[in-house]
Amino acid sequence: MVTADTPAGQRFSAFGRGSSAAFPPGSVFGERWIVVGEDTLIGAEVTLSAGMVPGQDLGPVPVLHIGDRCVIGRGSHIVAHHSLVIGDDVFTGPYVYITDQNHGYADPDMPIGRQMPHNAAVRIGSGSWLGAGAVILPGACIGRNVVIAAGSVVRGTVPDRCVVAGVPARIVRSYVPGDGWSPPSRPPAPVLPESVLPESVLPAPVIPESVLPASVLPASVLPESVPAGSGAVPVERIEGVAQAADPPG
């Protein structure tokens, strides 16, 4: 585990009191340009990187800031090159991807992986929640207390106090002061007590009496006699109940 007092924690530009990074870590490099606030929990296998490769000089100021009391979910990737700021009290689900750099593709004849990338600052407002598998693209500016639905791909500006979902993410709910959340949550279907359910929708008995046999072996299916020489034991009826007769001789 990495804390402010461990050698790994002291490699960061700042690693706040009460913060920790779980073991095993993901790929972590460029710590000199990474700031982690206080009381923040970074899950196992989380990648935190500044720059494209270890040892790259990114200048005099940090490029990745994670605020106080944040929780970064297991397996998430936070990859900064230019400016990526996560506010206080931001929680993410597992396997979230956040970056401020994307591949360029201006030249249609050159492999995209060999073209110069493009940087655009990313901001995630305090108090927001990013669901599992969300992707935050370069240039995204997310407001305060925003819900990013699981699996969403976010770009552009997202205002405060709203819910976004989809690919690309769109606003599906927003908070209106004085009116609350709009549209309102869909109410759950009513559950009626059994006493008010009509008989037509109540389940019938598993085996209705009308189909139960009068006896285990109804008299109507018993033979009157058996063929001679068959060796079978004949039966006789006594008050509607079939019983084996004594064998002859």
Mode of pairing for the β-strands spanning 153-154 and 118-119: unpaired
What's the one-letter identity of residue 87?
A: G
Cα(33)–Cα(181) distance, integer angstroms: 39
Cα(124)–Cα(109) distance, integer angstroms: 35
Mode of pairing for the β-strands spanning 157-158 and 162-165: unpaired
Of the candidates 5, 45, 49, 53, the residue with the CA atom closest to the CA atom of residue 31: 49
Contact 232, 223 (CB under 8 A): no
Q: Assess whether 118 carries a catalytic annotation.
A: no
Beta bridge partners of 72: 42
Q: Which helix (H) or strand (E) holds 8?
A: helix 7-10
Place of tokens 């079978």: 232
Place of tokens 């500016």: 141
Cα(119)–Cα(137) distance, integer angstroms: 10
Cα(66)–Cα(63) distance, integer angstroms: 10
Name the active-site residue from 65, 81, 103, 118. Answer: 103
Q: CB burial class (10 A; 0-12, 13-18, 19+) of residue 130?
A: buried
Contact 80, 33 (CB under 8 A): yes
Which residues are known to be catalytic? 103
